[in-house]
Structure 1
Amino acid sequence: MDSGALTSDWLPAYQAVLRESFVPDVIWPGVGPADGGPVAGIDRRTDPEGWFRTVYSDTSLTTQWDDGTHTGTYRGNIPTCSNSQPTMVFSMLAALDVQPGCKVLEVGTGTGWNAALLSERVGCDHVTTIEFDPENAATARARLDAAGYHPVAIVGDGSQGWPGRAPYDRVLITASLREIPADIIRQTRPGGIIVSPYATEYGGEAVVRLTVQEDGSASGPFVGSSAFMRLRQQRAYRTHVKTYLGGKPWPADGRRTTTSLSPEDAADWLPMFVIGLQTQGMFPYPEKLEGGRYTLWLRDTQVTSWASIDFVPGAEEFEVHHSGPRELWSEVTAAHAWWDDQGRPEFERFGLTVRPDGTTLAWLDSPEHPVPAVG
């Protein structure tokens, strides 16, 4: 890998643990949570050359759809398990800073590749891996056994950790979180490190590296952008926009205004992440229209407020309709303006602190500079 993610200390594990041993015969390359990706998967039995070429490329490989209910070579509806992009795998392992003798907990066994890499590095006796999906757990266990690795493999709710082997020196979470589970922090020793993808309600995601403190809190910086599948216990289930409109045709009781902030300026992964750090209980959905136009819908999780912003290519002002006690687009514009005033900082300048009571605080550059809340 030319990115530099594969450092010399992880090179022996990479060479010893063949990725091909931890993926199934049918794979879908480059399919993320919101990507289109290929319609048909690559089947090792009919296209072995293409399969091997894909497995040893720097791309993520979707290995399960729709929590295992999907079968066949054509893609399903929602990707629910993958073998992650090697660059991401080794950048997270580098952030984990695994040292000889470390006790490691992995939340999300998935295909088993990470568990094998960790076992190769610190020994099977020092690795505990937990997987919620019984089918994934069974196939991962079989692959690990076949490759000669025997970590402690648990079928269970990873958000609760595994207290029977605690305390851990390192915790690697391979699914996206909206909340860092308190059980995970409690099961990590002071000075221990937790590495996890962290997503905001609004959107955007980055990997956070938390160090657990003596008082039971955990704090640390984000180390780069990411796009993982959500931990199943923290999935969001959205109410249809028709409920917000009260059964009336759009714009129902929506109040009309205009905005000079283009929805496009707030649509990339980084500004979405920063907006999400500042807002609570709000999420977007773009409804595509013809000619490059779309309507950006905003809704709150309490089903009290909504907004719609109509994007037209080349326009300098955009029509807004909003309803309810919260002016959701005003919250977005305020959050975006703060980010702009700070010089549009990247992911790595932000950090997160989780207090012992579970309160989560985002900050810029240091915990002494909290990210302001809007709304």
Structure 2
Amino acid sequence: MRASAILILVVSILVLFGLVMLVSTSAPQGERLFGNPYHFIQRHLAWLVLGLIVAALAARVDYHAWFKLAWPMFGVTLVLLALVYVPGIGLNIKGSHRWLRLPLGLSFQPSELAKFTAINVLAFWFGTKRRQRGGFKDGILIPSVLLGAMLGLILFETDFGATILIGAVGGLVMFAGGAPWLYLVAGGLLGMGGLGVMIAHNPERMGRILAFLHPEKYAQDEAFQLMHALYAFVAGGAGGLGLGESLQKKHYLPEAHTDFIFAIIGEELGIAASLGVVLLFVALLLCGLRISGRAPDAGGRLMAFGITVLISLQAAINIGVVTGRLPTKGLPLPFISFGGTSLMVTLFMVGVLLNIARQSARVHRRK
């Protein structure tokens, strides 16, 4: 079975499973906030339809077209990231400026677009044969400035999770593209040190770190969601309490349909279902790496590699947070968590990945 066919199957299962879990997890919150238990699933379905449309289009568009749009897309992304601070356009939710206001009560999160933009511009840069990838200027300085411009705006939005994710994926794409690894390691350590200083001077972020290190001491404050996520796994056991029977989603986990949906999977369907989700993301990782390895050129290899690593790493971080292995980051579980922009952009990237596989198959048939 071809990697692209397996990828379609895996993503389809994750999306359909996500719909089932969203119906279960979002109903209490929808009823409480909007008087409609189907409020969130209705919005999610609208974004899903849009996501499937853009995925189908991306699967048919030659991925080299995105390289031609790398610079305009980079500029547009920077503008959108800055617009979140414009009154009347940007939305301030829970003290964070991360969203743009759209018609029909919808919102758009530019940092989700920045995920693909970062991969696209770096894959284009390192995939161009003219680049002296081993040198400092072309291999480190210029791509670091490009990546850093987006990361700076995202970090200014106080979106530490997206900053870390895009920064890590960007660094891996640069490494895969031939950038000198010593400079990358030094830059990574410098970036981590800078983040550490910012966290140390931010009481809310520092509270999350302390809650991660000592959750039992902060069980009623910063570690409240983490502790109840762990309670959910314990209550679910091997077989789960049954679909729709979660206690935590009704009274204790306000983010049950978003960042902490994996905990409700464990509570309602048990460890077996949780492991099944993990295995599906492992399968996605292997399929994506297979597509990357067979891509017809360097740009395609780096694009496929970046997309695959981003989706897989985001899933790993989300699961790590929910299981208490990582501090809270605020990243959704791909394909499953509620989040319109995230779902649409992730499906779009899967479409690009499928086109790379399609172009690769054409090249191999000619040979």
TM-score bin, normalised by smaller chain: under 0.3
Calculate the TM-score normalised by the size of structure 2.
0.25
Structure number with bigger Rg: 1
- Which structure is richer in relative contact order (CA contacts within 8 A, separation 6 or more)? 2
Q: Greater strand percent: which structure?
A: 1
Calculate the TM-score normalised by the size of structure 1.
0.25
Q: Greater helix percent: which structure?
A: 2
